[in-house]
Amino acid sequence: MDGAAAELREAHRLAGHADRVWSLAWNPAPGAGAGPVLASCAGDKTVRIWKRAPDGAWQCTDVLEDTHNRTVRCCAWSPDGKLLATASFDATTAVWEYSGCDFECVATLEGHENEVKSVSWSPSGSLLATCSRDKMAWIWEVQPGNEYECVSVLQGHTQDVKMVQWHPHLDILVSVSYDNSIRVWADDGDDEWHCVQTLTEDNNCGHSSTVWAVSFNHKGDRMVTCSDDRTLKVWDTSADLSQPKTGEGHESWRHLCTLTGYHDRTIFSAHWSSEDIIASGAGDDAICLFAEEKNSMVEGPSYKLILKKEKAHDMDINCVRWCPQDPRLLASASDDGTVKLWELKGSVLD
C-alpha cells in the first residue's frame, strides 16, 4: 500500500428495487472464471441478482419474483454457491437452484408462525437455519431431491429473533434477538439441539437493547454483534462449544470489547472481512470500518476506527457485506432502495 489514508470510495450504485433493500449475499463460489455475484432482497417482494459486465458496469441479470407474497427479508447462498435461500415475511423460506445462469425455485419451507427474519447455511451446506418473529429458530437438513426435514426447533428467546448465523467451521449456531440476548446452540450428536450459552447484559457485558446482527471472523475465534444500543461488541469465541462439557471448568465465549460512540443510531449490520476489517452500517446512514489495534497495551484486543463514511446512503443502512473474492469490495443496502458498492483504498494498517 502507498501509505495514503484509508478511504471508502463509492464505486457503483445499483438501483432497481422498488422498496427498501433489506439484505445482501455474495455468492461464495460463483464458478471458475466467473466474476462476483451479488444477491439483494427487498420490501418489493423480489430478489435481484447483480453481476459485473465486461465493461466493468454492474447489471441486474435476474429478478426472482412471483414466489414470495411479502417482503423478502434475507437471502443466503449455500457454501457451494448452487443454492440461494430466501426468507420472507410471508412466513416461508424458498430455496432456489442456481445453474450459473438460471434460477429455479425448488423448495418452499413452511413452519414458522409468522415473519421469517434470517436464514443461514451451515459450513458443510447440509443444514439450514431460519429464525422468526415467532421467537424460534428452526434447523433443517437438506435431503436428496430438494427435500428439507426439520431437525429441531430452538426455543429460548423471549422475543423476535433477528438473525441466525452458523460458525464458519463448527456446527454451532448463533441467534440474536429483540430480547437483547445472544444465544449459542449446539447438538449432542443425536439431533438434540440445546442452548449451550446465553450472552446477556447482566452476565456477560452483553447488549442493553435489541441485537440486530452477528458476524464471525474467518478463523471463527471472534465474533462481532451490533445493537440498537448503538454499540458493537467483539467476543472471544475460541471455545469449542460443540463439544459436550467434560467435567468442571469448561470454557465459554466471553466479551472482549465494546465499540461505543461511533454511530448515534441503531447499528443494523456488521460484517467481518477476510482481512479482519469489521464494517458496520447503521440508522445514522453511515458506514464505519474497524480493525484490531495491534500495538495495544491494554489487556486484551482492542479495535480502532479506520474511517467513518457519513451519508453513505440517504436513509438507514440495513446490511453491509464484504465480497469474498475481493476483500476490499464492500456492498451496502439501504431503506433508500439502493445497493452501493464501495472500494476500500489506501492503507488500513498501522
Partner 1 sequence: MDHQPQSDADFLEPSVLLDETHYQEGFKNGYHDGLSSGKEEARQVGLKMGFQVGEELGFYQGCLDVWMSATRIDQNAFSTRVRKNIEQLAELVSSYPLSDPENEQVQDVMEKIRLKFRVITASLGARLEYEGRPASSKQDVEDL
Q: How far is the CB of 124 from partner 1 (least distance, A)?
A: 17
Sequence-distant (6+) residues with CB within 8 A of 201 are 180, 207, 208
Binding residues among 241-280 for partner 1 as defined by CB under 8 A = none
According to CB under 8 A, which one of 109, 142, 291, 344 is a site residue for partner 1? 109
Question: CB of 153: closest distance to partner 1 in angstroms?
Answer: 6
For residue 292 the three cell numbers come to: 484490531
End-to-end CA distance of the chain: 11
Dihedral sign computed on CA atoms, order 185, 187, 192, 194? negative
Residues forming beta bridges with residue 109, ordered by sequence position: 93
Q: Residue 98 to residues 41, 67, 163, 217: CA-CA distances in angstroms?
A: 16, 16, 24, 27
Closer to partner 1 by CB, 139 or 259: give it: 139
Task: Give the shortest CB-319-to-partner 1 separation in angstroms.
Answer: 27
Question: Could you say which of 59, 61, 69, 114 contacts partner 1 (CB under 8 A)?
Answer: 114
Say whether residue 110 binds partner 1 (CB under 8 A): yes
Q: Do residues 136 and 193 touch, judged by C-beta distance below 8 A?
A: no
Q: Is 19 exposed, middle or buried (0-12, 13-18, 19+ CB in 10 A)?
A: middle
Which of 104, 113, 251, 264 is in the footprint of partner 1 by CB under 8 A? 113
Non-local CB neighbours of 218 within 8 Å, separated by 6+ positions:
168, 272, 274, 276
* Alpha-carbon separation of residue 225 from 30, 85, 114 (angstroms): 28, 23, 24
The smaller minimum CB distance to partner 1, of residues 133 and 183, is found at 133
Which is nearer to partner 1, 110 or 350 (by Cβ)? 110
Under rule CB under 8 A, residue 299 binds partner 1 = no
* Residue 71 near residue 45, CB atoms below 8 Å: yes
Contact 166, 172 (CB under 8 A): yes
Q: CA–CA separation, 99 vs 27, rounded Å?
A: 12
Which span sits near partner 1 by CB under 8 A: 51-59, 136-144, 211-219, 284-292?
136-144
Give 92 or 273: the residue with its C-beta nearer to partner 1. Answer: 92
Interaction mask 186-215, partner 1, x per CB under 8 A: -----x------------------------
**Min separation Cβ 179 and partner 1, Å:** 16
Q: Minimum Å distance from CB 142 to partner 1?
A: 12
Contact flags string 138-167 toward partner 1, x per CB under 8 A: x--x-x---xxxxx-x--------------
Q: Report the residue number, 147 or 264, with the smaller CB distance to partner 1.
A: 147
- Phi, then psi, of 333 in degrees rounded to 5: -125, 145
User: Could you say whether residue 349 binds partner 1 (CB under 8 A)?
Assistant: no
Give 202-255 as a 3 state SS string.
HHHCCCCCCEEEEEECCCCCEEEEEECCCCEEEEECCCCCCCCCCCCCCCCCEE
Within 25-84, the residues that bind partner 1 by CB under 8 A are none
Q: Which is nearer to partner 1, 192 or 314 (CB)?
A: 192
Q: Which is nearer to partner 1, 114 or 296 (CB)?
A: 114
Least distance to partner 1 from the beta carbon of 307, Å?
45
Q: How far is the CB of 113 from partner 1 (least distance, A)?
A: 6
Tell me the closest approach of the beta carbon of residue 150 to partner 1, in angstroms: 5
Choose which of 16, 28, 79, 111 interacts with partner 1 (CB under 8 A). 111
HSE at residue 249, side-chain half, CA atoms within 13 A, is 0
Give the separation between CA 126 and CA 148, rounded to whole angstroms.
10
34 burial via Cβ count (<10 Å: 0-12, 13-18, 19+) = middle
Interface ranges with partner 1 (CB under 8 A): 107, 109-111, 113-114, 138, 141, 143, 147-151, 153, 191
